[in-house]
Structure 1
Amino acid sequence: MPNDVLVLAYAGCSTCKKAQKWLEEQGVAYQVRPIVETPPTVAELGQWIPRSGVSVRKWLNTSGQSYRALGKAKVDAASDAELVSWLAADGKLIKRPVLVTGSTVLVGFQPDAYARVFASRR
Structure 2
Amino acid sequence: MINIYGIPNCDTVKRARAWLDEHGVAYTFHDFKKQGVPEADLDQWLKKPGWEALVNRRGTTWRKLDEATRNAVVDAASARAALLANPSLIKRPVVNWGAKTGVTTGFDAEAWAAVNAV
Is the aligned partner of 1:27 residue 2:24?
yes
Are the aligned partners of 1:39 and 1:90 in contact in 2 as well (CA < 8 Å)? Answer: no
- Separation (CA, whole Å) in 2 of partners of 1:90 and 1:36: 10
Aligned pair partner of 1:47 in 44, 47, 51: 44
Q: Which residue of structure 2 aligns with residue 118 of structure 1?
A: 116
- % identical equivalent positions: 33
Are the aligned partners of 2:62 and 2:89 in contact in 1 as well (CA < 8 Å)? Answer: yes
Give the TM-score of the pair, scaled to structure 2.
0.81
Q: How far off is 1:15 after superposition?
A: 0.9
Deviations 1:65-111 (A, max 9, x none): 32123245532333320211221232211110111121311101011
Q: Which residue of structure 2 aligns with residue 105 of structure 1?
A: 103
* Aligned-partner residue type, residue 85 of structure 2: A
Which residues of 2 match residues 78-93 of structure 1 at below 5 A?
78=73, 79-93=75-89
- Separation (CA, whole Å) in 2 of partners of 1:100 and 1:58: 14
Aligned pair partner of 1:76 in 47, 71, 76: 71
Are the aligned partners of 2:45 and 2:51 in contact in 1 as well (CA < 8 Å)? Answer: no
Structure 2: gaps of 5 or more residues: none
Aligned partner of residue 58 in structure 2, secondary structure = coil
Q: How far off is 1:59 after superposition?
A: 1.1
Distance 1:86 1:39, change over 3 A: farther
Q: How many residues align?
A: 115
Are the aligned partners of 1:75 and 1:83 in contact in 2 as well (CA < 8 Å)? Answer: no
Are the aligned partners of 1:10 and 1:35 in contact in 2 as well (CA < 8 Å)? Answer: yes
Structure 1: gaps of 5 or more residues: none
Aligned partner of residue 24 in structure 1, secondary structure = helix
